[in-house]
Amino acid sequence: MFSSQQGGLSEEDKSATFTGWAAVPGGNGVLEKWSYHPRPLVAAEIEIEITHCGICGSDIHFTTEGWGPITRPAIPGHEIVGTVVKRGEEATHQIGDRVGVGCLVACCRGPQVCEWCKRGEDQFCNNKTVTFNAPFKDGRGGISEGGFADRIRVYSDYAFKIPKEISSAEAASFFCAGITTYTPLKRYKAGPNTRLGVIGIGGLGHIALQWAAAMGCREIVAISGRDNKKDEAFKLGATKFINTSDKGQIKEAARSIDLCLCTNASHNNNWEEYLSMMAPLSQLVLLALPESPISFVGSHLVSQDVAIVGSHLGSKGDIEEMLEFAAKHNIRPWIEKRPFEDCNEACKDVHAGKPRYRIVLEMNPSAAPSAAASSSS
């Protein structure tokens, strides 16, 4: 299927056609091949030939309409790695550079810059554009399309050069799972005095354990509802494991955690149990986005001065720092590579919680999608 990307709302570069796998209205989570004309390349932008894209839980929430109905074809994917093949004259990258793109592709541009961009916290910018299915706010119109595709155009300051020590397949997961877990550990100064908890040993949690070990946390507690990941948790850096199905273990862990990252968006989360493990003056940080409201009794918060907070991605500076930290400390996601054309089966496996621990789509040049292979309408 071919379609105008923007429905006539923005200028299109009709000399270029990008093709990927899109979520469609009424598609029940099944991705379909879809093509669009990108916006014209401007001075500060680059065009990336995509080689890899990680699958994130956010992609699944979106494609299965857990976050609301899909109203137009939209290509997901925000853990993107590829090679720069075109550049505007003001772009910060060169042809041939290996770069990655994460959850944001634009923020304030021009003379008027918001408070958050001035503070170096661009993830909170009111004018930001997330990587897929979001309107651009730069005055040029258009809607963003993600990385389950052959190419993408982005502002060059939202593409990050990948250290040579990190392979392209491994780098992909850092651009969402990596930065999502790195930023709160940095913000709340995780280190030798920190007893850290990680709820959920999955795509986010397995990277969080590695960050914590490299940061030298005093104790690293992996928290899960089953023992099936216990051995792997210790290999990833945990010093202690709590199985929440054993109420005795929860009781023994009362008031023992200074900082806890909740990477699990399960409907079955027992927030009272999690809060009982939090020490006075501690923070429970929500990283996963539940599809339904959460509830808890406020007594734990008030009596122990416990804070429940969220953490949203990280700034451009955080991403650059994270990549350097990962390269220096040999931190890598545990990944399974799949060809792009198997994206539907791969997404089903992510939805079912099967990966150990991230699936990364890999472009096979001989199997790359093309507009010629798509039907026109």
Entry pTM? 0.91
34-88: pLDDT as tens digits: 999 999 999 999 999 999 999 998 899 899 988 889 999 999 999 999 999 999 9
CB burial string 121-143: b at 16+ within 10 A, e below? bbbebebbbbbbbbebbbeebbb
- At residue 67, the pLDDT reads 80
Residue 321 host element (H or E): helix 316-329
Distance, CA of 173 to CA of 169 (rounded, Å): 8
Q: What pLDDT digit, counting tens, does each position of 2-25 carry?
A: 444 444 456 899 999 999 999 999
Give backbone dihedrals phi and psi of 280, rounded to 5 degrees, phi first: -55, 145
Distance of CA 321 to the CA centre of its chain: 16
Q: How far apart are CA 260 and CA 185, in angstroms?
A: 9
Q: What is the pLDDT of residue 169?
A: 97
Coil, helix or strand at residue 299: helix
